[in-house]
């Protein structure tokens, strides 16, 4: 089992009425894309990227696509998950991505361990 864990250092959000992304030989119409950039950390010394594509409902979406050569993970999700990812990326630090090459659809984004009752700083 080959696993990767890396820290997400930056992200970009793109919104579109309908952008065509080709995966597994077919075009998928997506409404939003979050591009995440990973940095080397204690878990991995490689730079990885994760592109999250949000489209309609889950029916008919391609599975997770991985290019080890490009160090790119492409994940297709129902658009109902978009706000959860934006909230995590905007409000937590650090954020890690856990990925298992043997089970690519089980990709996990997580925060670090925090004390119970900790509130986000208000400024």
Q: Identify whether 120 is part of a domain.
A: no
Contact 98/108 with Cβ under 8 angstroms?
yes
Assign 85 a pLDDT band (cuts: 50, 70, 90): very high
Q: Identify whether 121 is part of a domain.
A: no
Domain of 80, in residue numbers: 3-111
Query: What single-letter DSSP state applies at residue 53?
Result: E
Q: Is the pTM of this model over 0.95?
A: no
Q: Identify whether 60 is part of a domain.
A: yes
How does pLDDT run across 29-64, given as a tens digit for each residue? 999 999 999 987 776 677 899 999 999 877 789 989
Assign 122 a pLDDT band (cuts: 50, 70, 90): low
CB within 8 Å of 2: residues ≥ 6 apart: 100, 101, 102
- The tally of domains found in the chain comes to 1
């Amino acid at each position: 089992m080959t696993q990767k864990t890396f820290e997400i250092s930056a992200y970009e959000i793109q919104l579109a009425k309908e952008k065509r992304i080709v995966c597994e030989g077919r075009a998928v119409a997506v409404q939003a894309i979050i591009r995440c950039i990973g940095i080397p950390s204690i878990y991995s010394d490689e730079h990885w990227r994760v592109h999250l594509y949000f489209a309609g409902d889950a029916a008919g979406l391609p599975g997770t696509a991985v290019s080890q050569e490009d160090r790119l993970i492409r994940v297709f999700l129902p658009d109902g998950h978009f706000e959860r990812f934006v909230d995590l990326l905007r409000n937590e630090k650090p954020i890690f991505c856990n990925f298992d090459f043997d089970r690519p659809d089980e990709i996990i984004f997580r925060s670090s361990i925090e004390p119970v009752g900790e509130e986000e700083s208000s400024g």
